């Protein structure tokens, strides 16, 4: 039997099973993955995901084993692990890990009634576990009676997608997402050469941004206490929710005590490496809207909305990532996503809704990283038609060798990969971040790093430029923003890189130029 899930365009992405054997090891759970070259290396990550999202048994640090709030006796552990069986897959499109358990995300069509929904779910032996705060017809449904195996539930999702009452149905996957900072450290460079290359300072004579225009950074958290970020924070973004003071953490449930704290939270030695650490989003935020005077962002007078969706490189819930996009679209004008992951119909729907209905009906501008795999394809969600896909160029005005290529690539922006890296804000916590306190790495105080990069850095630069465009003309649609960015881009790279339509799979429509872009915006007729 071939397993898969249906995307919003009707295509089916296959799922390749990864054998997962779980057994008690003494009084603690143990897991062994096999069947793929990287499976053994992913065991710890998968086990942590199951414990975080499925109430899979986990040691609590005090010598006991718990499954959620329940203490598990040693003689009960094996039976409980068998009862909480989950399945592990490799996504056939992205190659990333996906976990499935007993839940589906189900969106009913707008004209379906609650009675019809209840009848369908009763017939299938499913029940609603929770609604969706952003879409009244969307629910997480659960196989509470364990009527189906995980594989059978995935098959059921495909069948549900063909029902007249159903808009989409998909397993409630917990998935692997990749943050798109460059893995190869470039040579230190203190000056913000990337801003000079796109003529940012000249563009700032036209606009440095407006406080009323907000960039949402969806990532592993933003250091809201950083001296060059805290002044840019959008305070109390949701006036209907008094606990929402400066953004949210969608990795954890809405009911969690720290749901309204979007700061970096996960740290593990070595603290200057991406793996195990929430050190990525603070850099992205600085590239977009850092206020200066040491680490200016592209839009230094625009506002910042931190939206935390990851805890370091732990697997994340597709449904929660999709809800984070929906939240950001309500309170931000531009959404910056320096990461990639597998497709899901829930995330596809969230992006489509954000692009068409966000920003009070004008549509939020969504800017995404093309990816760092040196691959001839653009990562998702950058490949989505509603997003602006951004690749990376170097200080030598060439494509960075890691930057993905493809037909969906819109533009490139300066980043690492040449002789210089990107100087920007870092995590301000002592001993945490890409720079843990070195003059050579960006300053002894550790507030800044000079080795950020990848399409992760190129993306918020373009997001910041989009915010400047909206600062000049807030009425611009996402399609107009994308068209202006492409039209004003500068052709770089070897001769013959571009086709007859002015597009290159390596460079998109060229490298962004902030001055030319803002001049084009100002030249538009009212």
Catalytically active residues are 219, 280, 456
Say how far residue 287 (Cα) sits from the centre of its chain. 16
Tell me the C-alpha distance between 447 and 441, whole Å: 10
Token readout for 123 is: 């017939």
Q: Residue 120 in contact with residue 165, Cβ under 8 Å?
A: yes
Tell me the C-alpha distance between 160 and 170, whole Å: 9
Token readout for 274 is: 């991406």
Tell me the C-alpha distance between 200 and 193, whole Å: 10
Tell me the C-alpha distance between 412 and 429, whole Å: 31
- In this structure, the strands spanning 214-219 and 303-308 are parallel
DSSP-derived letter for residue 511 is B
Tell me the C-alpha distance between 89 and 444, whole Å: 44
**499 φ, ψ to 5°?**
-85, -175
Please name every residue paired with 369 in a beta bridge, in sequence order, or none if there are none. Answer: 390
Quick check: bond before 293 cis, omega within 30? Answer: yes
Q: Residue 401 in contact with residue 366, Cβ under 8 Å?
A: no
Quick check: bond before 381 cis, omega within 30? Answer: yes
**326 φ, ψ to 5°?**
-65, -40
Tell me the C-alpha distance between 360 and 356, whole Å: 10
Tell me the C-alpha distance between 260 and 438, whole Å: 32
> 170 Cβ partners below 8 Å, 6+ apart?
5, 6, 104, 105, 157, 161, 318, 344, 345, 346
Vertex 140: Cα angle to 136 and 144 (nearest 5):
140
Tell me the C-alpha distance between 248 and 259, whole Å: 6
Q: Residue 32 in contact with residue 184, Cβ under 8 Å?
A: no
Residues in the chain: 526
Tracing tokens 């399609």 back to the chain, one arrives at 479
Q: Residue 98 in contact with residue 91, Cβ under 8 Å?
A: yes
**Radius of gyration, CA atoms only, the chain:** 23
240-258: b (≥16 Cβ within 10 Å) or e: eeeebbbbbbbbbeeeeee
Q: Provide the CB-side half-sphere exposure for 186 (13 A, CA).
A: 26
């Amino acid at each position: 039997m071939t397993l898969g899930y249906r995307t919003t365009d009707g295509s089916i992405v296959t799922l390749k099973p990864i054998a997962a054997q779980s057994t008690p090891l003494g009084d603690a759970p143990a897991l062994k993955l096999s069947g793929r070259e990287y499976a053994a290396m992913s065991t710890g990550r998968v086990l942590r995901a199951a414990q975080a999202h499925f109430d899979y048994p986990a040691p609590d640090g005090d010598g006991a084993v718990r499954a959620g709030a329940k203490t598990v006796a040693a003689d009960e552990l094996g039976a409980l692990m068998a009862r909480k069986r989950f399945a592990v897959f490799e996504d056939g499109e992205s190659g990333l890990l996906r976990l499935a358990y007993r839940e589906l995300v189900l969106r009913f069509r707008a004209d379906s009634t609650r009675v019809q929904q209840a009848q369908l779910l009763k017939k299938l032996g499913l029940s609603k576990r929770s609604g969706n705060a952003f879409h009244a017809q969307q629910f997480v449904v659960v196989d509470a009676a364990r009527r189906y195996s995980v594989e059978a539930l995935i098959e059921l999702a495909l069948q549900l997608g063909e029902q007249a009452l159903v808009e989409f149905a998909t397993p409630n996957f917990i998935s692997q997402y990749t943050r798109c900072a460059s893995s190869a450290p470039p040579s230190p460079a203190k000056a913000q050469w990337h801003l000079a290359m796109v003529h940012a300072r000249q563009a700032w004579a036209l606009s440095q941004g407006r406080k009323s225009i907000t960039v949402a950074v969806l990532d592993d958290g933003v250091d809201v206490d950083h001296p060059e970020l805290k002044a840019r924070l959008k305070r109390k973004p949701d006036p209907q929710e008094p606990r929402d003071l400066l953004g949210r953490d969608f990795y954890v449930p809405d009911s969690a005590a720290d749901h309204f704290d979007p700061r970096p939270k996960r740290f593990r030695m070595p603290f200057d490496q991406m793996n195990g650490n929430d050190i990525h989003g603070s850099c992205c935020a600085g590239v977009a809207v850092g206020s200066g005077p040491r680490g200016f962002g592209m839009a230094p007078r625009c506002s910042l909305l931190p939206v935390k969706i990851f805890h370091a490189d732990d697997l994340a819930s597709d449904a929660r990532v999709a809800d984070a996009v929906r939240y950001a679209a309500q309170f931000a004008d531009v959404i910056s996503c320096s990461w990639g992951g597998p497709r899901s119909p829930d995330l596809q729907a969230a992006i489509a809704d954000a692009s068409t209905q966000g920003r009070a009906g004008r549509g939020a501008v969504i800017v995404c990283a093309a990816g760092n795999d040196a691959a001839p394809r653009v990562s998702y969600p950058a490949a989505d038609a509603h997003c602006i896909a951004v690749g990376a160029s170097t200080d030598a005005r060439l494509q960075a060798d890691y930057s993905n290529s493809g037909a969906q690539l819109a533009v490139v922006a300066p980043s690492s990969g040449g002789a210089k890296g990107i100087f920007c804000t870092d995590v301000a916590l002592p001993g945490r971040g890409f720079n843990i306190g070195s003059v050579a790495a960006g300053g002894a105080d550790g507030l800044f790093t000079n080795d950020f990069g990848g399409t992760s850095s190129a993306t918020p630069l373009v997001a910041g430029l989009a915010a400047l465009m909206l600062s000049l003309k807030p009425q611009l649609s996402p399609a107009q923003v994308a068209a202006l960015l492409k039209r004003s881009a500068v052709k770089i790279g070897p001769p013959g890189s571009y086709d007859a339509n002015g597009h290159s799979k390596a460079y998109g429509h060229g490298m962004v130029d902030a001055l030319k872009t803002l001049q084009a915006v100002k030249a538009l007729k009212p």
